[in-house]
Chain A
Amino acid sequence: MAAAHWAGPSCAQPGDGAPAAGAPSFRVSVDDSPNDNGSALTLTWSPAEAAAGAVLTVLRETAGEPGFAPVGRVQSGVGTFEDTRGLARDRRYRYRLSWDTAEGVRRTPATGWISPRAQWFDRSRLAVAVAVPAFSLLVLVSILRARRGARSSIRRIQGLEAVDEAIGRATEMGKPILFSPGIDEADQPGTIAGLAILGKVIERAARSGTRTIVPNRDPVVMTVARAIGQEACLVAGRPEFYRDEDIYYATYSQFGYAAAMVGTMVRERPAVNFFMGNFAGEALILAETGYTMGAMQIAGCDADTQLPFFITTCDYTLIGEELYAASAYLSRDPVLLGSLKGQDLAKAILIGLIGVGVLLAIVGIEIGGFLR
């Protein structure tokens, strides 16, 4: 609390309504509120010195507009008050506190003039400001190493290993594949991960002449899915295989979308259902219907509330971040695998820090205060 600090004198000046000589008074100071956009000032006083049990009225005067006006009320024992009402960075303000007593209204002397200031850095987010770039650096270094030829291995993810088996099943049965990229918008990581898998599925399905039906809940996701579908068919050498009507917008309504999906399952009788993305309450409706239809089902969902439903009804389920690893896993692109490695390194460091924190907490050493 540097330059923008002013504490009133402990002795009152005559004629300003301050307590008479010998009567208790207290000091109030005002500072610019930290970590904000210059819209707040904070008053502080010692609760021990203040009028015990009183309700203090906070009065504010704006430079150029004589006269104090009330801006709030606070219990004296609180010791602090933040004024956020209509402050401007180009104006100056000063404060005083008043409270009722049996002898009449008492007031503290006015503070000095002060203007609120906007900060360029929110120090309360320091921990995030350190952790996110550190983690990002780990991922970027891993990516750079991968570009230079460093090899990364990835453990088997059964759900993704089964993609080829699923497409083969659909081809043999002569039935289509049904793919849902989830119900979230296109800017959500789960949807992006689901669309990455969609590209691979359509490409491999197109090679074997199997149709992929993709009902969408979001129009932007549909647009992206169509572009992915066209590109995938092109890469597979079957550009004529792509059809707009196979990748369509159903409805924005969550359960309306579920009804559309269920209707498609009942009419088209797909051999395989892919549920890859973010799902909510409709997950069980989709998966259970698919199960009763006898379809092979592979699900990947980053909403872990729906995982139990997928696990009990689907043949394979990608859990949590396995969905995000899908594009790296299916493409085996060294750069993408490198980013996965960076992710895992960061997780290992976090697990280590959690372990250290737990041990310190057990022996009674508290170190988390600086993070808040």
Chain B
Amino acid sequence: MSRTFPIVVAFVLGVFMAVQFFIPHPRVTGIYNTLLDIKQVVLGCTFMLGVLSLIQFHSRRIRRRHSGAGYSAVALAGLAAMVATALVWGTEQGPYRWMFNHVQAPMQATMFSLLAFFVASAAYRAFRVRNLDASVLLAVGVLVMLGRVTVGSVVSWEWGGETVSLTTVSEWFLHSVNVAAKRGILIGVGLGMIATALRIIVGLERTYLGRD
């Protein structure tokens, strides 16, 4: 029963959601809207699940004095502080707003900023003329990079009666070669998604149950 019931639910709801896409009648869209409401409630509950898991995980690390338990204490203290200040002073002003603007926002921005450095080191390391494929990748990568900045529009020449710049070349790569490749991958991924969804609906793929 514990295995069969979820599979039956997945089948019924999966077929319904697929079929309702083609039926605009209010009797069907009414059911569809109710399902979306249910999904919203379930999603809210899963956040509680995540918070409880977080508390459990870090508490255990502190109790057992794992290396790095200090970081766990900081994590729990941060969680408690944000919740407490939000409850007491609200989220629009006060310590919560201050901590969001002056602690969380800069930390998140810092993590994203790492990408600039990592792109530089990864590009420096990976873009080498080892073979033909790598050389083509290198050449196109350099062209697109230059084409996306001001230098690209400054470096220009006449060709076929028109002024062509690195930006033009970069745009051509992005609009044609890039689109063609992405469409190919997208079609394959789309078919793969349909097949995966089909396997879930008919009960062949049961990974979401946590077991085969």
- A contact residues vs B (CB 8 Å cutoff): 35-38, 89, 118-122, 125, 128-129, 132, 135-136, 139-140, 143, 186-187, 189, 192-193, 195-196, 199, 218-220, 222-228, 230-231, 245, 248-253, 255-256, 258-259, 263, 267, 281-282, 284-285, 288, 302, 304, 309, 312-313, 319-321, 323-325, 327, 331, 335-336, 339-340, 342-343, 346-347, 350
Contact = CB atoms under 8 A, between A and B. Distances in A.
A139 B195 contact: yes
B122 A309 contact: yes
Nearest to A340: B195
A220 B49 contact: yes
Contacts of B160: none
B24 A118 contact: yes
Interface in B117-171: 118-119, 121-123, 125-127
Nearest to B190: A321
A135 B190 CA distance: 12
B23 interface: yes
Contacts of A129: 22
A321 B191 contact: yes
B89 interface: no
Given A135-B191, A139-B198, A313-B126, A335 B24 contact: no
22 contacts: A37-B26, A128-B22, A129-B22, A189-B193, A189-B197, A195-B207, A196-B207, A219-B46, A228-B211, A231-B210, A249-B54, A256-B111, A259-B107, A281-B115, A304-B185, A309-B122, A320-B188, A321-B188, A321-B189, A321-B192, A324-B196, A339-B204
B209 interface: yes
Contacts of A312: 122-123, 125-127
Contact of A347 (B47, B182, B188, B197): B188
B93 interface: no
Contacts of B71: 263
Contacts of B207: 192, 195-196, 199, 224, 228, 327
Interface string B59-72: 01100000110010
Contact of A228 (B49, B205, B210): B210
Contacts of A186: 208
Given A132-B194, A339-B195, A253 B108 contact: yes
Q: Is the interface of B mostly helix, strand, loop or mixed?
A: helix
Given A219-B50, A259-B111, A321-B189, A120 B118 contact: no
Contact of B57 (A37, A132, A230, A248): A248
Contacts of B198: 136, 139-140, 339
B49 A223 contact: yes
A245 B209 contact: no
Contacts of A231: 210-212
Nearest to B58: A248
A346 B187 CA distance: 11
A263 B189 CA distance: 32
B211 A119 contact: no
Contact of B185 (A218, A220, A319): A319
B25 A119 contact: yes
Contact of A288 (B53, B54, B121, B192): B121
A119 B49 CA distance: 42
